[in-house]
Structure 1
Amino acid sequence: MRQLRAELGRLGITADLHHGYGMALLSVWVDLVVWSDGLRFLWWGGQISQTTGRRTYIVHSTGNPAATARRIAQRYTDLRRTHPMSRLIEELHS
């Protein structure tokens, strides 16, 4: 997960890393949390299954964190457009 976080950093994306109980979570943006069990990365791709009505998740092997980071960056870009920072958070960042 640290490698994925570093790859996201190379793309200009910061994320908070949390771990425990055999899982690691990388909080990237609103509705974008990546989690890993050490074998794969998973995150919500933004779609709802028409069959089940549940969120559909994207799954990537942990073997190529650079490719995974590029895919997450696409979702991040979409979410930044649809879920901008609140005014309060923008003021804290300026």
Structure 2
Amino acid sequence: MTNEGLSYPAGLTAQVSIYPLRQQHLSPAIDAALAIWRERELDVQPGAMSTLIAGDETTVWEALRAAFAAATALGETVMVITVSNACPWTPPAQR
């Protein structure tokens, strides 16, 4: 299976919520995800209940997988993601 024809020139935006389960502290899993998204130079807008990330298609998907892996390395985790190619986002090179 290939991704031919599935390119989104304007990129992807994702709204992500991370819920660490049965963990003494919640912030390590969330902080790990935020660090991964920032390291990959995504646009990151943390909120009280969720975080918006935006970037090119490949980077967004890879960063979501990496963030989930980092969060689950700390314990059981639920991650809720809404992904859109219809939200406004301007690649840094075009700003």
Is the structural similarity TM-score above 0.5? no
TM-score with structure 2 length normalisation?
Answer: 0.31
Return the structure number with greater relative CO, CA threshold 8 A, min gap 6: 2
